[in-house]
Amino acid sequence: MAESHSVNFSGPKSFSTKLKSKCKETLFPDDPFKQFRNEKHRAIKALQYFIPFFEWIPNYNLKLLRYDVLAGITITSLAIPQGISYAKLASIPPIIGLYSSFVPPLVYAVFGSSKHLAVGTVAACSLLIADTIGQKVPPKKDPTLYLHLVFTATFFTGIFQTALGFLRLGILVDFLSHSTITGFMGGTAIIICLQQLKGLFGLKHFTTKTDVVSVLHAVFSNRKEWRWESAVIGISFLIFLQFTRYLKNRKPKLFWVSAMAPMVTVVVGCLFAYFAHAEKHGIQIVGDLRKGINPPSIGYLNFKSEYLTVTVKAGIITALIALAEGIAIARSFAIMQNEQIDGNKEMIAFGLMNIVGSFTSCYLTTGPFSKTAVNFNAGCKTAMSNVVMSFCMMLVLLFLAPLFSYTPLVALSAIIMSAMFGLINYEEAILLFKVDKLDFSICMAAFLGVAFISMDIGLMLSVGLALLRTLIYVARPATCKLGKISDSNLYLDTEQYQHAQGFPGILILQLGSPIYFANCNYIRERVLRWIRDEQALSNSKPDVIEHVLLDLSGVSTIDMTGIAAFREILRILEAKSIKMKLINPRIGVMDKMILSKFIDVIGKDSVFLSIEDAIDACRFSLQKEKHQNDLSDISA
């Protein structure tokens, strides 16, 4: 009996079966809410994009919280002395420096995209605010009006930063080059350190100017006010702080020693000032620090026309510096974790926290390097560490603020000086000198301008010099002669690769920049000079060059002035019986050449896709001309 077999066709569905199933799903959907869920999913993604808090909070757990709490408490211990110190630097009440580490971190935790950035005040912007606004309203003359103008400048900082973020104009921050930032920070650190000599020597009279000459003159002209007690205590604190920084550099695992050192300095200074009655010995203290939460400061913003110019100026300058520093620091620590930071999101986050800060008795905040480094080394996992710092700072404001009223000013001066020593990056300046003399000049323009003239003028000098260098690069683009590497299809710069070979009667030039009104005359002269130099080297008849090939693959755009320059080059070459060919123009360049009728003038057969094609065409043309000349000689 024949054995029966059953065949199981369990392979993939046929195309017709899939089509029927798809039509059924379309006409009779099993899930009528599928489209709604898709739209909801897109809405959630959009919300997470604009508010990063909703991106990481759904996956947050107690394990992550454990790390963030430790990091938050650690950076709070640094935020308290820094807040008081930098507020003193900005010539505003010390309590404002503590408020600035209370509200803004909450805003950044919601809108910021960095996991490691710790929000706080910075020395450079603090001094810049004091310098700019103090010229209009001296803080000692009218401290209330001065404070209100600081809040107003912070508001304009936030508006400017938020606008840059929404308009995606982060390119403006790029004008503050690495060289400019290095020089600016170094110059600022020098004048801040010199200004702290007032607290170190216990001086009561000092200058409001920030340049080195004025500060040193104020220090030595008031020698009668020097107090040796204050100097001994200040130097002792400074040695202690520098020793902890030395330990951190030698043994990175001991980072917490350096992080806690400023807080230890403040606590020891408070105890010493309280028990030794420091004021009787000429050692000044911070003074009144009331506990509690201040009322909103939105009603204190001053938009009167007579002060509007100075507040807008202070707001815009500090906004750019704060953005450049904060975004650079956020990106640096993100790279360590193979992550990316959206600069435009950071701008919006910084802007919103400064706007809200100006409404809640805070002044300018950003992402300081020292606090962020401590936050990173303490093991923070998310922006929740900023929330923890804000909560701890709230407890300090509600219950512990009066305890810090005994903080000696000399201790704050030591803390500031110790922090500033790390900003004087002389090794980077030496590297700039070795690598790029012009970069070094830009750095020194910022350094010397800030140190000996003023902060804003020094910054403008450096940015102006950097822009001048950019204009030189734009107006004088590089052109090079190409030759072929043997046994390959590569055409490279003959100056860099001297074994690259040219072709008789053919000159190949590469243009590598946009061609427009600022550089077209230079490009025209450069092309003609290449031809003259090539003819001079040939030591033969002046028309040895019969074809000039212009490689336009690196030309991203061209304007009408540039096209007119090409027409002029073409006329000059035709007068010398030299033919011009174009190689691989980009689509935008080609469209403009077609619309301007330049392609009709030069001829469609003079445009090639590759250098190889153009050379083959030129060789064929040269051989054809040679053959015709030979026939003419024979017939003659």
Given this model, what pLDDT does residue 157 score? 96
Q: Lowest mean pLDDT: which of 32-41, 82-91, 236-245, 314-323?
A: 32-41
Tell me which range, 173-187, 247-261, 580-594, 619-633, is most confidently predicted by mean pLDDT. 580-594
Tell me which range, 22-36, 449-463, 561-575, is most confidently predicted by mean pLDDT. 561-575
CA-to-CA distance for 554 and 621, rounded, in angstroms?
27
Q: Tell me what the pLDDT averaged over the chain comes to.
A: 84
pLDDT tens column, 535-550: 777 655 445 788 999 9
- For the cut 90, the answer to whether the pLDDT of residue 607 exceeds it is yes
Residue 12 — pLDDT band, cuts 50, 70, 90? very low
Q: What are phi and psi of 203, to 5 degrees?
A: -75, 145
- For the cut 50, the answer to whether the pLDDT of residue 19 exceeds it is no
Percent of the chain at pLDDT above 70?
A: 90
pLDDT tens column, 31-88: 555 555 566 667 777 777 788 888 888 888 888 898 899 889 888 888 888 888 889 8
Residues 157 and 322 sit within 8 Å (Cβ to Cβ): yes
Average pLDDT over residues 232-253: 86
Given this model, what pLDDT does residue 581 score? 93
Rg (CA), the chain: 34
Given this model, what pLDDT does residue 257 score? 80
Residue 3 — pLDDT band, cuts 50, 70, 90? very low
Residue 633 — pLDDT band, cuts 50, 70, 90? low
- By the 10 Å C-beta count (0-12 exposed, 13-18 middle, 19+ buried), 299 is classed as exposed
Can you tell me which residue has the tokens 């300018």?
364
- For the cut 90, the answer to whether the pLDDT of residue 354 exceeds it is yes
CA-to-CA distance for 197 and 178, rounded, in angstroms?
29
CA-to-CA distance for 244 and 537, rounded, in angstroms?
67
Residue 1 — pLDDT band, cuts 50, 70, 90? very low
Residues 6+ apart with CB under 8 A from 184: 124, 321, 446, 447, 450, 455, 458, 459, 462
CA-to-CA distance for 378 and 257, rounded, in angstroms?
11
Residue 510 — pLDDT band, cuts 50, 70, 90? very high
Average pLDDT over residues 180-194: 86
3-class SS string, 22-83:
HHHHHHCCCCCCHHHHHHHHHHHHHHHHHCCHHHHHHHCCHHHHHHHHHHHHHHHHHHHHHH
CA 367, 369, 371, 372: dihedral to nearest 10 degrees? Answer: 70
Residues 6+ apart with CB under 8 A from 122: 86, 322, 325, 364, 366, 368
Given this model, what pLDDT does residue 631 score? 64
Given this model, what pLDDT does residue 445 score? 93
Residues 370 and 419 sit within 8 Å (Cβ to Cβ): yes
- For the cut 70, the answer to whether the pLDDT of residue 337 exceeds it is yes
Residue 282 — pLDDT band, cuts 50, 70, 90? confident
pLDDT tens column, 581-596: 999 999 999 999 999 9
Q: What are phi and psi of 286, to 5 degrees?
A: -60, -45
pTM of the prediction? 0.73
Can you tell me which residue has the tokens 């110059």?
187
Question: What are the distances in angstroms from CA 106 to CA 69, 295, 393?
Answer: 14, 18, 11
- For the cut 60, the answer to whether the pLDDT of residue 8 exceeds it is no
Residues 6+ apart with CB under 8 A from 381: 64, 67, 68, 115
For the chain, how many residues are written?
636
Average pLDDT over residues 461-468: 89
DSSP 294: P
Question: Which residue segments constitute the domains of the chain, with CATH numbers given?
Answer: 62-470 (no CATH), 479-635 (3.30.750.24)
- By the 10 Å C-beta count (0-12 exposed, 13-18 middle, 19+ buried), 551 is classed as buried
Given this model, what pLDDT does residue 333 score? 81
pLDDT tens column, 123-142: 888 988 998 999 899 988 89
Given this model, what pLDDT does residue 24 score? 52
Residues 379 and 70 sit within 8 Å (Cβ to Cβ): yes
Given this model, what pLDDT does residue 416 score? 81
Residues 116 and 362 sit within 8 Å (Cβ to Cβ): no
CA-to-CA distance for 505 and 499, rounded, in angstroms?
18
Residue 602 — pLDDT band, cuts 50, 70, 90? very high
3-class SS string, 330-346:
HHHHHHHCCCCCCHHHH
Given this model, what pLDDT does residue 471 score? 86
Residues 469 and 511 sit within 8 Å (Cβ to Cβ): no
Given this model, what pLDDT does residue 580 score? 93
Q: What is the DSSP string of 354-410?
A: HHHHHHTT----B--HHHHHHHHHTT--STHHHHHHHHHHHHIIIIIGGGGGG-BHH
* Element containing residue 480 per DSSP (H, E): strand 479-484
CA-to-CA distance for 417 and 195, rounded, in angstroms?
9
Question: What are the distances in angstroms from CA 251 to CA 67, 142, 168, 562?
Answer: 21, 48, 41, 59
Six token digits for residue 582: 């174009």
CA-to-CA distance for 318 and 125, rounded, in angstroms?
6
- Tell me how many degrees the CA angle 89-93-96 measures, rounded to the nearest 5: 95
- For the cut 90, the answer to whether the pLDDT of residue 561 exceeds it is yes
CA-to-CA distance for 359 and 537, rounded, in angstroms?
73
Given this model, what pLDDT does residue 626 score? 67
- For the cut 90, the answer to whether the pLDDT of residue 570 exceeds it is yes
